[in-house]
Structure 1
Amino acid sequence: MALYAELHRHLGGSVVPRVLWRFFQRSHSDLAQQFIDYTAFEDFYTRPRSSLAEYLELHTLVESVQNNETLPYFIYRLMRGAYVFENLAYLELRYTPYYRTPEDLSQTQRIDRMAQIVETVGQASQLNEYPIITSQILCMHSRLPYEVNRAIVDLAAQMPNYICGIDIAGGDALYGERMDEFVELYAYARNLGLNTTGHVYETTEGCHPELLPYLMRIGHGIQIPLLHPELLPLVAQRKQCLEICPTTYLKTGTLQDIQQLKVVFDRCFEAGVDIAICTDNAGLHNVRLPFEYESLLTHDIISFSQLKTCQENAFRHAFAWPLNQEPISILNRALQASPDLALLTDTTLPEYS
């Protein structure tokens, strides 16, 4: 069994349609009653949107029902699916903790409640029956004030047992007017020793070179090879990894055809830029990580050897993977150390190309 690492998955967008529908039926019937039946809800929840801004509005639907009391319900089902259906050995969950706190509290009170949210997510993610190594990435948000975003950075530094890095989310077209502010926050985070990634170069409106020097990984970043390939040598020199989420770009209208990703992969491989393949919002897309792999292969976007390289990249660039090797290396050593197990891998079946 192959074991994978997932570096870019949003907590809000990770809830698959059926789980969210059942939750609405049991606890928020007013939301369920907006749809004739499950099929109508699934179509609404997973259909492509005309823009990234429209697509991001779906996050508010899930955020409105994710709080300190309900998060264990959603996370248990997330972890179960990730283990049983996706063969994940490692998972980084990203989200904005402020948006999981009660809206009727003051800003100061909501900031104070964020640590409780982080602890709830961290504890709910540790399941003996579904052993996946997990960590959290806290997202600053383009719609939140400076004080809240700085508090998110501070919280990430204060809780390293649960948090492995920070991000900036909320639509990369909104960063421009506050660029000095976000540069300052990223510089502050790096001075605190935090790992960093960020949603930039996802859309044509989100090309913000000012943030690139502060990022260890780049959330999406597809517009670098598509529109600004001159930046690729510097990205390779900095050893920055692109977190590519194929289905996202079709759901948001950023790309019209998956074949457009071939240029992204070809130029990155030629320039020596690492790519990790991710899902982004597996629930909103109703897909899982192995599907993303298969889709890229069947559309001849990448080869099997390139896929293997991307899978290795995910473990190498993971912020909290505790080993200096991926699971396949451990399993191979176990097979080599045990003659009985090694015999099981010796097969006389013909090979097929």
Structure 2
Amino acid sequence: MALYAELHRHLGGSVVPRVLWRYFQRHADDKIERFADYAAFEDFYTRPRNTLDEYLELHTLVESVQTIETLPYFVYRLIRGAYIFENLAYLEIRYTPYLRTSEHLTQSQRIEQMAEIVDVVGKASQLSEYPIVTSQILCMHSRLPYEVNRAIVDLAAQKREYVCAVDVAGGDGHYAERLEEFVQLYAYARSLGLNTTGHLYETPAGCYPELLPYLMRIGHGIQIPLLHPELLPDLASRQQCLEVCPTTYLKTGTLQDMRQLKLVFDRCLDAGVDIAICTDNAGLHNVRLPFEYENLLTLDIIDFDELQACQDAAFRHAFAWPYGDRPASLLNGLLKPSLPTGVLAMQD
């Protein structure tokens, strides 16, 4: 029974270790020849890193094999797992399309090829046997030139049948020297009527208040309640939602203990700032969305009422969810027993 919404799932980090291992065995065994067996590969792929930058290097391992030809293979397995194992009714897949284009092409040719990448991902996501509402978020990147990032924004505007928003990724500590450029790009995106989110306030090095007014949601954003709680009233007034990905902060060395998130949830909920609980990179973490919920409950970071509030917020802030209510609310109406006509008359 599909019940949940996932608002922050990277295409590169969504591939679970077993699927990636099998792909490498069949098509690129040079990438795993240094590992003695699957267990050694899984340990390498999922173990914590010391910094966010070190963690993000793992994305390049997957990006190098996610091409026009292979994307349907990876997207199919992502959708299948999300439906069967995570009970997802809604999924936003985010990625940088330029990094899936052919490296032998010129920059202008790769920009042109991005449209084909979006089409391939969009069509591969529509599976009748796994009925999940899906949409794409196209990520600008801190290490790509302005021309490519602007082309990504333009592509998002051109492909609204598949794309629901734009984002910026690549490590929030790298935006500083190009901050005005990203402000201009987000202002441009908003002028085109695009939805916006952005990897921001994930680490202490990624705190840029200049970008906040342009974002409808904030990717991570945990440093706002931790280090800058004075900003929370502004977030509440703008109805911005934080996309909190609990396991990520342990994998990147940003937090040492998941219990540190209790302050994040407490301060946000007290201030009226919504939180959507997400996975970020379910494959890299080997942790699916229901387990993120369970971990937060088990560690007494949130209670069941707060969990439901976060689940409701995920659907409320979903950029492409087409219904007024979340699936649980829709099911409640379907499951109510219908009363015989005579009984209804007696009640009247």
Give the shorter-chain TM-score range: over 0.9
How many angstroms apart in 2 are the aligned matches of 1:330 and 1:338? 15
How far did residue 172 of structure 1 move?
A: 0.3
How many angstroms apart in 1 are the aligned matches of 2:337 and 2:150? 50
How many angstroms apart in 2 are the aligned matches of 1:303 and 1:212? 29
Q: Which amino acid aligns with 2:119?
A: E
Aligned to 2:173: 173
Instruction: Give matches, 1:52-71, under 5 Å.
Output: 52-71=52-71
Structure 1 window deviating more from structure 2 (327-336 vs 136-145): it is 327-336
Deviations 1:211-232 (A, max 9, x none): 0000000000000000000000
Alpha carbons 2:2, 2:89 under 8 Å: kept: no
How many angstroms apart in 2 are the aligned matches of 1:339 and 1:14? 46
Aligned to 2:195: 195
Q: Secondary structure at the match of 1:134?
A: strand
Deviations 1:53-94 (A, max 9, x none): 000000000000000000000111111100000000000000
- Residue 301 of structure 1 pairs with residue 301 of structure 2: yes
How many angstroms apart in 2 are the aligned matches of 1:58 and 1:31? 12
- Residue 85 of structure 1 pairs with residue 85 of structure 2: yes
Q: Secondary structure at the match of 2:204?
A: coil
How many angstroms apart in 1 are the aligned matches of 2:204 and 2:150? 27
Aligned to 1:184: 184
Aligned to 2:43: 43
In structure 2, do the counterparts of structure 1 residues 77 and 2 end up closer, same or farther at CA, with 3 Å as the change threshold?
closer
Q: Which amino acid aligns with 2:291?
A: F
Q: Secondary structure at the match of 1:137?
A: strand
Instruction: Give matches, 1:205-284, under 5 Å.
Output: 205-284=205-284
Aligned to 2:159: 159
Q: Which amino acid aligns with 2:206?
A: G
Q: Which amino acid aligns with 1:219?
A: G
Deviations 1:4-47 (A, max 9, x none): 00000000000000000000000001112121110000000000
How many angstroms apart in 2 are the aligned matches of 1:8 and 1:213? 20
How many angstroms apart in 2 are the aligned matches of 1:112 and 1:159? 13
Instruction: Give matches, 1:319-338, under 5 Å.
Output: 319-336=319-336, 338=338
TM-score (norm 2): 0.97
- The 4+ residue runs of structure 1 with deviation greater than 6 A are none
How many angstroms apart in 2 are the aligned matches of 1:330 and 1:228? 38
Deviations 1:107-134 (A, max 9, x none): 0000000000000000000000000000
Q: Secondary structure at the match of 1:167?
A: strand
Q: Which amino acid aligns with 2:174?
A: L
Q: Which amino acid aligns with 1:118?
A: V
Aligned to 2:343: none
How far did residue 295 of structure 1 move?
A: 0.1
How many angstroms apart in 2 are the aligned matches of 1:179 and 1:132? 36
How far did residue 272 of structure 1 move?
A: 0.5
Q: Which amino acid aligns with 1:25?
A: Q
Q: Which amino acid aligns with 1:130?
A: Y
In structure 2, do the counterparts of structure 1 residues 137 and 38 end up closer, same or farther at CA, with 3 Å as the change threshold?
same
Alpha carbons 2:2, 2:83 under 8 Å: kept: no
How many angstroms apart in 2 are the aligned matches of 1:155 and 1:213? 22
How far did residue 337 of structure 1 move?
A: 5.9
Q: Secondary structure at the match of 1:14?
A: coil
How many angstroms apart in 1 are the aligned matches of 2:49 and 2:230? 30
Aligned to 1:16: 16
Structure 1 window deviating more from structure 2 (31-40 vs 276-285): it is 31-40
Deviations 1:304-336 (A, max 9, x none): 000000000000000000011111111111122
Q: Secondary structure at the match of 1:264?
A: helix
Aligned to 2:142: 142
Q: Which amino acid aligns with 1:64?
A: S
Q: Which amino acid aligns with 1:304?
A: F
Alpha carbons 2:14, 2:78 under 8 Å: kept: yes
Name the count of aligned residue pairs.
340
Structure 1 window deviating more from structure 2 (298-307 vs 325-334): it is 325-334
How many angstroms apart in 1 are the aligned matches of 2:338 and 2:98? 50
In structure 2, do the counterparts of structure 1 residues 338 and 122 end up closer, same or farther at CA, with 3 Å as the change threshold?
farther
How many angstroms apart in 1 are the aligned matches of 2:161 and 2:82? 21
How many angstroms apart in 2 are the aligned matches of 1:337 and 1:219? 41
Aligned to 1:123: 123
How many angstroms apart in 2 are the aligned matches of 1:339 and 1:159? 47
Q: Secondary structure at the match of 2:196?
A: coil
In structure 2, do the counterparts of structure 1 residues 250 and 153 end up closer, same or farther at CA, with 3 Å as the change threshold?
same
Q: Which amino acid aligns with 2:333?
A: R
Identity %: 76
Q: Which amino acid aligns with 2:289?
A: L
Q: Secondary structure at the match of 1:210?
A: coil
